[in-house]
């Protein structure tokens, strides 16, 4: 007979995702997750063998979430960049867990990353090098913005418009 008192693997992943969305990947520890689920940390190992499996799930969710947001925009470079920026600003901790840290590819569905890369390639409609340059330009600006690296008096709209002009020129 199955134990119905403890959390399911799905509930564990859902709670881990909530924890990261609220407090960032650095807050994800087996102890913090167990506390949120009102169980002992050792009980988590019945569902996952290590933290990386949970991180992989979170990153896969982040890739799919970003992909979904980008699918909603018109397929041109500026709208694509704006949608990426809006997604990152709306999901700063998920963005950081997904885009700022190495992916735990061994524990995730490879299609999650492949779909996002394919979408970038389609919108850029150029070589792999052009797609990498475009991604770097947009991601770099967004990352610096989220990290608070621009001066508080910076004219962000003007800077972002310049990024969009550069993107269209690639």
Contacts of 48 (CB under 8 A, 6+ apart): 9, 12, 54
Residue 18 maps to a domain: yes
Percentages (nearest 5) of helix, strand, coil residues in the chain: 75, 0, 25
Q: What is the pLDDT of residue 1?
A: 35
- Closest C-alpha among 103, 109, 105, 135 to residue 120: 135
Residue 4 maps to a domain: no
Q: What is the pLDDT of residue 13?
A: 96
Mean pLDDT for back-to-back runs of 10 residues, the chain (170 residues): 66 97 97 95 92 97 98 94 98 98 94 95 93 96 97 94 95
Q: What is the pLDDT of residue 5?
A: 60
Residue 146 maps to a domain: yes
**Joined tokens for residue 132:** 């990498």
How far apart, in whole angstroms, are the C-alpha atoms of residue 149 and residue 142? 10
Residue 22 maps to a domain: yes
Query: Residue 7 belongs to what H/E stretch?
Result: none
Q: Which domain holds residue 98?
A: 9-169
How far apart, in whole angstroms, are the C-alpha atoms of residue 170 and residue 154? 25
Q: What is the pLDDT of residue 126?
A: 86
Classify residue 47 by burial, with Cβ atoms within 10 Å: 0-12, 13-18, 19+: middle
Angle at 140 between CA 122 and CA 53, to 5 degrees: 80
How far apart, in whole angstroms, are the C-alpha atoms of residue 132 and residue 126? 10
Q: In angstroms, what is the C-alpha Rg of the chain?
A: 18
Per the structure, the count of domains in the chain is: 1
The pTM (predicted TM-score) of the whole model is 0.90
Angle at 148 between CA 142 and CA 153, to 5 degrees: 105
Q: What is the CATH number of the domain that holds 112?
A: 1.10.357.10
Residue 2 maps to a domain: no
Residue 1 maps to a domain: no
- Report DSSP state, residue 50: S
Q: What is the pLDDT of residue 2?
A: 44
Residue 161 maps to a domain: yes
Residue 70 maps to a domain: yes
- Closest C-alpha among 108, 109, 66, 72 to residue 91: 66
Q: How far is CA 76 from the centre of its chain?
A: 21
């Amino acid at each position: 007979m199955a134990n119905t008192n403890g959390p399911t693997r799905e509930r564990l992943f859902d709670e881990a995702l909530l924890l990261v969305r609220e407090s960032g990947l650095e807050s994800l520890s087996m102890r913090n997750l167990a506390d949120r689920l009102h169980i002992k940390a050792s009980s988590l190992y019945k569902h996952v063998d290590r933290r990386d499996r949970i991180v992989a799930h979170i990153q896969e969710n982040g890739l799919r979430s970003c992909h979904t947001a980008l699918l909603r925009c018109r397929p041109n470079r500026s709208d694509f960049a704006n949608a990426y920026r809006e997604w990152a600003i709306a999901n700063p901790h998920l963005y950081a867990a997904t885009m700022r840290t190495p992916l735990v590819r061994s524990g995730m569905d490879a299609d999650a990353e492949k779909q996002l890369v394919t979408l970038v390639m389609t919108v850029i409609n150029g070589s792999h090098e052009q797609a990498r340059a475009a991604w770097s330009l947009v991601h770099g600006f967004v990352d610096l913005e989220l990290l608070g690296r621009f001066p508080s008096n910076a004219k962000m709209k003007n800077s972002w418009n310049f990024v969009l002009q550069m993107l269209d020129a690639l």
